[in-house]
Structure 1
């Protein structure tokens, strides 16, 4: 190869790298389908105008004008004819074939945005605005590029629960603005629940005067006991005029608003206003704490359907949405089982059980809405007892409901609790604001793939999109909602919009770092520690704990201590792995130079004779409480009170029987385990806990028994016994079984949660 050609190639490679400020990849979220960069730049200045060839796009042009003016000192006049240094917006379905798709080209003298439709133009504008944000410190010099872009899924949703806590219209508008900025096109507005009815229904004024308010609100987490309350009346509702205004505002941002009116469950507030709609017909109250309640709409009462049809008749004119969400989730059947009207309905309609009664209820509402030209969508419980003919399903209890519905040729929105519930903790630090439970960091949200491997290609067409949900039991203020939702909603936007082949977490984080300043300028109270320490513990048969730390933060080092002291830049730097083989407290901290990032990681290790010994379980743990790792019950690590650090082992309605082989005869003087007791989370202490020991694994003798578990929360059992020789330890705990009447969750299986079987 000639030297001149070789030099030219090297020069061009250099020119198109990050050393050239105008040849960088641009940091758009969600990632576009195609981006081709060039070395030119377009400069926004006082001469820049917006060219509008069609009056149908005037609102889009005005939106662009206002957005750019807010970022720059320039006015951006809207003109009909071209001039130098202009931004042209237009629609051309021949050039852009996909719905909501757009082309954005930035050259030295012009910017062109071509959309398939008005929404496509709008999304092209949003991408341009993101580029403009990033050019603020570059003299408003926009990197030249050509973008071809369109969404992967037609439904891209974000939810907000206003039933538990009420938020002002001003915040809802900000919320919608943020959805639109990241190309999320659906706002699922959860308007009614046990704790409050939030929309004006003129025919039923008690929904405003009674159902919209509760007498007080629980303080802290519902698992805490005894429950404490603030003693303050709380509530509010949106007038129909406010709803119309918000829906119109959202439509101008190409966001569809789907209202949710819960039925047949989560009806306490409505029953407080109109008690004749319940099975008992007694005095109901708007709920003051969180949970699932037995009192639901009576399915045997004709007036129930009259009421709901009247409500929906006032709802429909406010919302042009094709979908009306009718809930359908978490509907206990206890009242229906003993209600004469419900039982008569079942007999008259030849329904086999109460699940079919719920299906009857949903089908009756669906028939009414279909007659009005609308379709129902509901949570995946609407599958139980048979799916209504035209219903769409939101699959929240995992993917199974969505898979089943898709195989039945029903449209599905995937919104699994495991990955897309944003009211779950995004950090395991103990001082995080109270949240529902579990642990859903940004990386886990981003990892979600809506197409299950259980679906064939033909059935995939029924997966219409994805949605993330934010329930607000523990987020009473707008700032807290923002903290829980962002930046995880940006990960959602990329799942919903970008091609699967384009998903790359490291690349996403690189772009997200640039969006920090954008979120700050938009005054979003976002979670800004998404690059804190992640870790993995594993245990070798030798009893050594192997720790792996990592962080995605560039140019960062992780310093650690094993003596319980807070790490400093002068402490040891984590490299490949760290080994722990004795009781200690490990702490770690990210540093960039001498500057600490995030919070201190801390983990205690408690070594004892059972550490790294095999455990044989008679019954296998269930669902989220089945740690997929060896030595889960003998690894020296303890579960936390938020039960979200993957250490708790759970049994649903089944007894615990665990046998540990210490591998040699040992002198035993103390036995124990940790046990979680939260009745308000359906986590119950066992009826009895027994420890037995054996020399040969055949003949066992009892060494300890207790039925006393006084603590609400973690009960740490450490029982001294008469010193004895043994090789085998057997632990038996009798599950509470079915939760008794009068208790929260009565009639369902109790959870038995244990962690770390201790032997000394």
Structure 2
């Protein structure tokens, strides 16, 4: 009997041990899951494991590497300077027990390619391993995102414990081309502002800054052999207000608005970007969008009429902003321009634009018609193709490759051209099927100058591209081999972006979403998880004094016809789980106002405005948006809600 009791007690003890072990395992798993949830790295790494413990960054922490590579040393110094700004710590490069170690693989890990890295954080050591210096730099960016948000502060922050969780991370980008385009022609941004933009890009592992350097409204790069380009083409009369409504220059009115980068300025920008593993892609937009060039050298157009640089009006009659293709001086001029551009920019590509050319002047120009006859060209589309192919030869003679907007497909694609597809994805698909390389940047997902929320609550622009549109965008169509897709970029055209602060507002957070599209694996994307991580990025942007949009919290108004009645409106938001309150009586809604319950609401008789706001946990989180009834009625007849 005693033996039986003892056996039962032994079995019970074993069961209790197993149960306690299981409870401990669940607790550890739960804690690790919570720790993983608290980590908000963007772009999301390929793989991550969270462990117990923390690494503490102190004034005694060192940053070391056995590599003598100059780029590695530059990254270490960049990191030391970055840490000093916010922490006040001056880290050493000597070995210590509390260290950050950067290792270039002696025997390359092929799975990391050129920009991937592994990151191991223990309580005493951070180790970043990569095949190339770029990977080590991206690993340092991830280290910064593991530290508290105040690490991004532009001033010394006191009373912060600079800890980060112990993790193992392996991270490799999906695409090699991860870019943003900044239009510095429509509105000029200073060298310092461009460098600030580069810093913001580096935080999210972008590697290409496409600068739109020339358009109708300004020529922005010094060409020493053609001084009129910056003497005349860089300046226009000053106007303030809504773009597209401005009056042209009055007789004798001085052109004081604008600016340009000297070649020394640009060399400094290029070096600043290179130190952050970002390459600058220069764009000189031809044969159209060339009014600043034509204003400087009027003999380059078919009409040869004198013009001033466009101040932001509706444009000149019939868009007389195209170069004369029948004029040999056009090509000799472009040869001079591209000679200096090729010498200045180390990027293997030169972007030649090629978009939105009004071809009517070519139809009427005797020189262009003679060119068509001499070259046996059937129409003006083939004339444009002739232009692009000839410019490609000029670009290639400088040791560069040509890239252009998808209009360069019209009339026949130049033999070695790369296509940047902006009018949807069809141009990119067509180019890829011809075995040409493609950068995907369709406007409805990637144009950062579009409305990002309800237009009634946003600064005026055109079109609509919400944060969710950018995040849910897939750059590789099912019908295309991914090897032809170099990657993609977001484009910030600046007609309606007069200041750098507004450029930031339009860029972020949509460019954060695109950063994950271009870096993270397709299987790793999840909208709900992204929003959770994105919200933890906002304090970092605040610390860095970066302006950004919170339109994702604002109300979305969706009107729809209701049987036997006028129309109803459904209210929603991109971020789920928010409470929406509304009024029709022209008062400001709050948590005591009617709450939207999911059923379409209708305008009472006499009501002309629907005002609405979002709340979370009893507090306002979105902006109050006031939408007129007639605006919502108009949308009922608009297929795609293009405002």
TM-score (norm 1): 0.76
The structural deviation recorded for 1:592 is 3.3
Q: How does 1:91-102 map to 2 (within 5 A)?
A: 91-92=104-105, 93-94=108-109, 97-102=112-117
Query: Measured at CA, do residues 330 and 78 of structure 1 come closer, stay the same or move farther in structure 2, by a change above 3 Å?
Result: same
Aligned to 2:624: 600
What's the CA shift string for 1:648-668, capped at 9, x where partnerless?
369xxxxxxxxxxxxxxxxxx
Aligned to 1:249: 272
Q: Retained in 2: the 8 A contact 1:221–1:434?
A: no
Root mean square deviation of aligned Cα: 2.7
- 1:428 corresponding residue in structure 2: 454
Which residue does 2:475 correspond to in 1? Answer: 450
* Structure-2 separation of matches of 1:275 and 1:555: 59
Q: CA deviation at 1:211?
A: 1.0
Which deviates more, 408-417 or 561-570?
561-570
| In the alignment, structure 1 residue 215 sits paired with structure 2 residue 237 | yes
Name the counterpart of 2:46.
Answer: 33
Q: Which residue of 1 aligns with 2:465?
A: 440
User: CA, structure 1 residues 214+33, in 2 after alignment: closer, same or farther (shift >3 Å)?
Assistant: same
Which residue matches 1:655? Answer: none
Answering whether residue 524 of structure 2 is matched by residue 498 of structure 1, we say no
1:366 aligns with 2:392: yes
Q: Is the 8 A contact 1:44 1:141 kept in 2?
A: yes
Determine the C-alpha separation between the residues in 2 that align with 1:90 and 1:586.
Answer: 59
Query: Over residues 372-396 of structure 1, what are the superposed CA-to-partner deviations in whole Å (9 max), with x where a residue is unaligned?
Result: 2210000000000000000000111
- Matched with 2:218 is 196
After TM superposition, give the deviation of residue 569 of structure 1 in Å: 1.6
Counterparts of residues 658-673 of structure 1 (less than 5 Å): none
Compute the displacement of 1:518 (Å): 0.9
Whether 2:341 is the aligned partner of 1:341: answer: no
Ranges in structure 1 where 5+ consecutive residues have no aligned partner: 607-635, 640-644, 651-752, 756-760
| Alignment counterpart, residue 92 of structure 2, candidates 38, 63, 77 | 77
**Which is further off, 593-602 or 253-262?**
593-602
CA contact (8 A) 2:584 2:603 kept: no
| Alpha-carbon distance in structure 1 between the residues aligned to 2:255 and 2:228 | 20
- Give the match for residue 304 of structure 1: 330
Of 413, 424, 428, the residue aligned with 2:439 is 413
| Structure 1 range deviating more: 552-561 or 199-208 | 552-561
- Residue number in structure 2 paired with 1:624: none
Equivalent residue, structure 2, for 1:590: 614
SS of alignment partner, residue 307 of structure 2: coil
Q: Does 1:120 align with 2:135?
A: yes
Q: Determine if contact 2:610/2:626 at 8 Å carries over to the other structure.
A: yes
Normalized per residue, which structure has more strand?
Answer: 1
Which residue in 1 is equivalent to 2:285? 262
**Deviation for aligned residue 1:529:** 3.7
The aligned counterpart of 2:57 is 44
Shift in Å, 1:249: 1.1
Distance in 2 of aligned mates of 1:483 and 1:594: 26
Partner of 1:745: none
Offset from partner CA, 1:196-241 (integer Å, 9 cap, x none)? 111111111111211111134363132x598899986312111111
What residue is the counterpart of 2:198 in the other structure?
Answer: 176
Query: Which residue is equivalent to 2:542?
Result: 520
Instruction: Report the alpha carbon displacement of residue 439 of structure 1 after superposing the two structures with TM.
Output: 1.5
Partner of 1:155: 177
> SS of 2:633's equivalent?
coil
**What is the distance in 2 between the residues matched to 1:228 and 1:461?**
49
Contact preservation (8 Å) 1:50, 1:87? yes
1:91, distance to aligned residue in structure 2 (A) = 1.2
CA contact (8 A) 1:219 1:227 kept: no
Give the Å deviation of 1:317: 1.1
The verdict on how the C-alpha distance between 1:28 and 1:432 changes in structure 2, with shifts beyond 3 A counting, is same
Quote the residue 1:104 is aligned against.
119
Structure 2: gaps spanning 5 or more residues:
1-13, 152-158
State the Cα distance separating 1:287 from its structure 2 match: 1.3
- Asked whether the 8 Å contact 1:279–1:295 carries over to 2, the reply is no
**Structure with higher helix content:** 2
Cα distance in 2 for residues equivalent to 1:637 and 1:533: 14
Q: 1:7 to 1:217 in 2, by over 3 A?
A: same
Work out which structure has the larger RCO, using CA pairs closer than 8 Å and 6 or more positions apart in sequence.
Answer: 2
